[in-house]
Amino acid sequence: MASFTTGFDGLGRQVRKYVYAKTRNAVKEKLDEARKKHAEGLPMSSGKQTVTDFLDRWLREVAEPNVSPKTFQTYSYLVNNYLSPGLGSIALAKLSPQQVQHFLNALSAKRLSSTTVKHCRDCLRAALNVAMRWNLLVRNPAGLAKLPRRVRRKPQVFNSSQARQFMRLIQGHRLEALFLVTLCTGMREAEVLGLGLDDLDLDGQRLRIRGSLQRVDGKLELVSTKTEESQRSVLLPTLVVAALRAHLARREQERAIAGDDWEESGRVFVTRRGTYLDARNMLRDYYKLRDGSELPAIRFHDLRHSAASLLHAAGVPSQAIRKLLGHASVRTTQEVYSHVTTDLESAAADKMDAILSAEISA
């Protein structure tokens, strides 16, 4: 056994670090290593703190005060349902990339979606970055583990003909403007439901996206947007402005009919009593319309993908689409919408015909 003084506690008493080994030479090597780590400010954990101990503390002291309620709820779910059951009993100081890799592979083998596996890795990596800042780890094992091969789901989208058919389908529906805004601007579900009356500037043909409506602990709440890039101003097509004006007029009629039962929430899209519109009720209307038509069975979220694909097919630069959608980087935009639509393929073929035909004629 060997030891050395690492400092003093709050009562002025020496704090000592002890190392153990089977031989004198081995213990000397451990002592030298421990002294070096102490001098460099690196962790010398005794290994008593488990991964679960640390993750619980990270959730309380770091995640909860600094992320949105929805993100905190997601982190808590991942920790309680995957990270702690899979890695929680391991001593934090002994957690290795190999163990994290085995954990991720096991999740994938259970046919957990590649997105959920990635979220588990990202959550663990974020937590262990804090462990490094707190000098509890020298390196981040989650950052060194590789995600199992991810099969990205190719979004189903409307082409231009189907988008026009969808517009005819929703015409006259109470939520026509909501569906049209989503299709034309690519707003996220929570963003369009959280859109406030004071976010509209119809004379200037703009709307601002500043928050989102999310269900947190079973209750609908307005929260700030996901990132700074998600807060944005969007220029509206004339047809969307017209639809929003008609919607606001209908909203005023519903307010008059509701009378004293009206509860003003300040949102553009509300129930017939003025309260927050639950996504589940909105989606019920959307799927009823969709399923009664001959349109492709795309998800509501795919209206956002459709907006990007239609603009991409029209030759709009990725940087402009990134700003419209509120992506953090143009790389995200390019990765998500790297598929080529039929419209764009046809345009490319037509252009090649024109180029080569001109060359042959010459």
- Pair 290, 208 in one domain: yes
Q: Is 46 within a domain? A: no
In the three-class reduction of DSSP (H, G, I as helix; E, B as strand; rest coil), residue 244 is classed as: helix
Q: Is 350 within a domain? A: no
In the three-class reduction of DSSP (H, G, I as helix; E, B as strand; rest coil), residue 196 is classed as: strand
Claim: this prediction has a pTM higher than 0.75: no
Can you give the CATH number for the domain in which 258 is found? 1.10.443.10
DSSP string, 41-85: T-----S-SBHHHHHHHHIIIIIHHHS-HHHHHHHHHHIIIIIHH
> Which helix (H) or strand (E) element contains residue 100?
helix 97-109
User: pLDDT band for position 340 (50/70/90)?
Assistant: very low
- Pair 232, 111 in one domain: no
Q: The tokens 């345009």 sit on which residue?
A: 347
- Pair 78, 197 in one domain: no
- Pair 228, 331 in one domain: yes
Q: What's residue 151's pLDDT? A: 60
- The highest-confidence range among 260-264, 307-311, 314-318, 355-359, by mean pLDDT, is 260-264
Which of 144, 179, 197 is at the close of a domain?
144
Residue in 295, 292, 293 with CA at minimum distance from that of residue 303: 295
pLDDT tens column, 165-220 = 999 999 999 999 999 999 988 888 999 999 999 999 999 999 999 888 988 777 88
Can you give the CATH number for the domain in which 138 is found? 1.10.150.130
Q: Is 97 within a domain? A: yes
What's the mean pLDDT when you consider all of the chain? 84
Which of 144, 178, 210 is at the close of a domain?
144
Query: CB-based contacts of 217: which residues, under 8 Å, 6+ apart?
Result: 69, 73
Residue 159: left (phi > 0), alpha (psi -120 to 50), or beta?
beta
Which of 111, 144, 177 is at the close of a domain?
144
Q: The tokens 């005794």 sit on which residue?
A: 46
Q: Is 151 within a domain? A: no
Beta bridge partners of 50: 91
- Pair 63, 118 in one domain: yes
What does the alpha-carbon distance between residue 342 and residue 272 come to, in Å, rounded to a whole number? 40
Q: What angle do CA 355, 359, 341 make, to 5 degrees?
A: 15
Domain containing residue 13: 2-37
Other CB atoms within 10 A of residue 344 CB: 17
Write out the two tokens for 189: 């579900």
Q: How many domains does the chain have?
A: 3
- The highest-confidence range among 83-87, 302-306, 310-314, 345-349, by mean pLDDT, is 83-87
Specify the higher pLDDT residue, 328 or 306. Answer: 306
Q: Is 57 within a domain? A: yes
- Pair 62, 132 in one domain: yes
In the three-class reduction of DSSP (H, G, I as helix; E, B as strand; rest coil), residue 200 is classed as: strand
User: pLDDT band for position 51 (50/70/90)?
Assistant: very high
Mean pLDDT value across residues 307-329: 75
Handedness of CA 319, 321, 323, 326 (dihedral sign): negative
pLDDT tens column, 222-276 = 887 666 667 888 888 899 999 999 999 999 999 999 999 999 999 999 999 999 9
**CB burial readout 320-329, b (16+ within 10 A) else e:** ebbbbbbbee
- Pair 117, 249 in one domain: no
